[in-house]
Chains A and B, each alone.
Chain A
């Protein structure tokens, strides 16, 4: 058992069959997720897919209407003090109280977290170049994000939850945020859950990735496994085709005329041998980026539903 009080194998976040509707709109549908200790978990989805709703359930801001949410083994709604003291949270709408100054904000937040590290907070403040006497409402958007990040990190949380932290921010602040994620995860036993639709960022930093689409988890796997099981294959055909050939396991086709490219799910080498389309020869095979996989996955669901 480590200092977090959990066995190393016990997951930090456990969500089982979580469903939620807002009126007639289904926000989450039977979502099940497990975030193991010591990983960076990336949550990926389009706008309005349900990422923020899921994260709010983890923090206890939303009650689970049906299903179970456990953070550090406890229900965040029943025990907010115990759970939230170990979580640092940053969201895209930084709603820090605008009337406070930066030093007042630090002093204020310090009172709530027993594990606040003054020296670390000061080091971060200087690294982020935040003027202690500046009022938060007068800070730029990027500086406000940095202030929020500072407040989330300074008490060395065991779980760092970031909800689309980089949206609308300039590249320098985005680097700061990614650096913060890495510094957190580099310490033993600390976990990061973050949602983003900047897939390049997710690809750099995550250990595990889950894709959410219209409230349902479409894909949840280790990033390495994901990369290994998807390929982008390009074929050159002698005869120009107007329609792509039908092949199992293909998520989406691209191309025209003589060259067609497919993004497919590969199961340990089976695709190459059995499903070479007629009259075509393989010219290129490469590992697709997370961006391509995501677009293909989400797109394929849409096209499947259209066909049905």
Chain B
């Protein structure tokens, strides 16, 4: 290799070979599948919407592949790889190479998808505007990752904000009237390109600063935050038991993430709605719906990080510090479960305390009140309050479920296993969604044909779940991973939670037989049972390789 640019390119490719192959393979497979489905269901509209899904999913993967930073797994990512600074290459080259390749790849992926899959499906897609947006997005992403290398949390927040605003800007031409659309697109394209160039310049300056040993003065903000956090009351009493110590460590590390995220997002939503969208009934109803969905969405995301032994590091293997503590494997698991439960409770409490008064006092709740009237008309007053409290409980249980659902795969400690199960899970969900969408499109007749089968399917799933649970818990108990107390406590918690959900199903109980049965069976399936026993067994495999 005689040119530095070629060498850098080879490094970008070589470090992420598997990722690139997965990307290309996955997209190709999805494209072929969509073509085949289009042949089978020619008139489906949902299919056209579904066509965007693989593209959207490949974006995070592309961002991860072009995350050209130092790979220090224990402490998360750091800034630009410092070892490259020792090479006789100009900073311009070091920065431009990954950035240029990132832009090229993302635009290529988009154009390939648009031309080869979406256009043949009959979807009218623009080429230039979205491509520009995506390229700019990649440039902003890499700039932020390199500039804010010291601040993991603020980096994530800034990144989320920038990407959201890009998406918002992207939607602007479609909401503008047709006659102005061309002009608006033109202006916006120029603006975005200019911003991207500014970001590129900023990246150059930041990396040059890092190369000269600077860029650390910005740690001042991080230190201020640390000083503030240090002022918070710290525990001074000694721990009375190992379980208490484990819980404290887990809470300090990851317990506050979900409530903090919920609080921050609620404030952002409140600010956005009050400032921009106004308080008409329709917006209020939509905001209320989003607020209710918020903990679930955040829990699903946080849950993936929660599955790792340490939330803030990328390492899935159990660090020897924890593996050599004289504890049973399940004690570690119990701490995580307790932290997740407390997190969930606090998050929901914050949501209710902050968002509910704001909704009731500051917004126009006409639509919502209409809903409430319908509700009170159907159910008796006693049933109303029972249903409301049980609904809240069910929501908390579902959030907790989303937090801990990945524990069994994350605690196994092998990256390929975690990624595969996550991938298979997501693919399964997507396939299910797609299938439902297609069913709905095809005409309600076939959907109604399938519905009576739902209780049978769910009953089968419940049998599988019980069987799996029995096997997993027996394994865990047999190897001494869990104490009798742990099993007892968890089983009673599970029974209690499922009991409440069953009560909810009964209260809501409509007259339709299969619907009631479906609800009951869903209630039985909701709380994780088998997966926790499996988590204990997998954690043992992680601890003793």
Q: In the complex, A touching B, CB below 8 Å?
A: yes
Q: Give A contacts to B, CB under 8 Å.
A: 59-63, 77-85, 87, 89, 91, 95-100, 104, 107-113, 137
Min CB distance, A144 to chain B, in Å? 12
* Nearest 4 A/B pairs, CB to CB: A111-B245, A111-B239, A85-B326, A84-B326
Among A100, A107, A112, which residue has its beta carbon within 8 angstroms of that of B327? A112
Min CB distance, B122 to chain A, in Å? 49
Q: Are B238 and A91 in contact (CB under 8 A)?
A: no
Q: How far is the CA of A98 from the CA of B76 in the complex (A)?
A: 12
Q: Scoring B residues 310 to 327 as 1 if CB is less than 8 Å from chain A, else 0, what string do you get?
A: 101000000111011111
Chain B binding surface, main DSSP class: loop
Q: How far is the CA of A269 from the CA of B324 in the complex (A)?
A: 48
Q: Are A89 and B320 in contact (CB under 8 A)?
A: yes
> Given that A61-B320, A107-B239, A111-B244 are known contacts, is A84 also in contact with B544, CB under 8 Å in the complex?
no
Q: Are B328 and A62 in contact (CB under 8 A)?
A: no
For B249, the chain A residues whose CB sits under 8 A away are: 97, 100, 108
**Chain B residue with minimal CB distance to A116?**
B238
Q: How far is the CA of A95 from the CA of B309 in the complex (A)?
A: 13
Q: How far is the CA of A231 from the CA of B234 in the complex (A)?
A: 61
Q: Are A112 and B325 in contact (CB under 8 A)?
A: yes
A–B pairs, 10, beta carbons within 8 Å: A61-B323, A61-B543, A61-B545, A84-B325, A89-B324, A98-B74, A98-B75, A99-B252, A107-B245, A111-B242
Q: Are A108 and B245 in contact (CB under 8 A)?
A: yes
* Given A81-B326, A100-B249, A104-B235, 10 more pairs with CB closer than 8 A: A60-B544, A61-B543, A81-B327, A81-B328, A84-B324, A95-B320, A96-B321, A99-B252, A107-B238, A112-B245
Q: How far is the CA of A85 from the CA of B328 in the complex (A)?
A: 11
> Given that A60-B544, A112-B326 are known contacts, is A95 also in contact with B321, CB under 8 Å in the complex?
yes
Q: How far is the CA of A100 from the CA of B249 in the complex (A)?
A: 9
Q: Scoring B residues 237 to 255 as 1 if CB is less than 8 Å from chain A, else 0, what string do you get?
A: 0111110110011001100
Question: Which residue, of A100, A107, A108, A110, has the highest number of chain B Cβ atoms within 10 A?
Answer: A108
Give chain B's interface residue range (CB within 8 Å of chain A). Answer: 20 to 34
- The residues in B between 56 and 95 inclusive whose CB is less than 8 angstroms from any CB of A are 74-75
The yes or no answer to B480 lying at the interface (CB within 8 A) is yes
Q: How far is the CA of A80 from the CA of B323 in the complex (A)?
A: 9
Q: How far is the CA of A104 from the CA of B239 in the complex (A)?
A: 10
- The residues in B between 299 and 345 inclusive whose CB is less than 8 angstroms from any CB of A are 310, 312, 319-321, 323-329
Q: Are A91 and B320 in contact (CB under 8 A)?
A: yes
- The residues in B between 242 and 274 inclusive whose CB is less than 8 angstroms from any CB of A are 242, 244-245, 248-249, 252-253
Q: How far is the CA of A100 from the CA of B545 in the complex (A)?
A: 27
Q: How far is the CA of A79 from the CA of B540 in the complex (A)?
A: 12
For B543, the chain A residues whose CB sits under 8 A away are: 60-61, 80
Q: How far is the CA of A61 from the CA of B544 in the complex (A)?
A: 5
Among A62, A95, A112, which residue has its beta carbon within 8 angstroms of that of B242? A112
For A89, the chain B residues whose CB sits under 8 A away are: 320, 324
Min CB distance, B313 to chain A, in Å? 9
Min CB distance, B415 to chain A, in Å? 16
Among B235, B238, B324, B480, which residue has its beta carbon within 8 angstroms of that of A78? B480
**Chain A residue with minimal CB distance to B312?**
A99
Q: How far is the CA of A227 from the CA of B479 in the complex (A)?
A: 46
Min CB distance, B162 to chain A, in Å? 28
Q: How far is the CA of A81 from the CA of B244 in the complex (A)?
A: 17
> Given that A63-B544, A110-B238 are known contacts, is A80 also in contact with B328, CB under 8 Å in the complex?
yes
**Chain A residue with minimal CB distance to B540?**
A77
Q: How far is the CA of A98 from the CA of B310 in the complex (A)?
A: 11
Q: How far is the CA of A253 from the CA of B233 in the complex (A)?
A: 68
For A112, the chain B residues whose CB sits under 8 A away are: 242, 245, 325-327
> Given that A108-B239, A112-B245 are known contacts, is A87 also in contact with B328, CB under 8 Å in the complex?
no
- The residues in B between 16 and 49 inclusive whose CB is less than 8 angstroms from any CB of A are none
Min CB distance, A139 to chain B, in Å? 14
For A84, the chain B residues whose CB sits under 8 A away are: 324-326
For B253, the chain A residues whose CB sits under 8 A away are: 99
- The residues in B between 133 and 167 inclusive whose CB is less than 8 angstroms from any CB of A are none
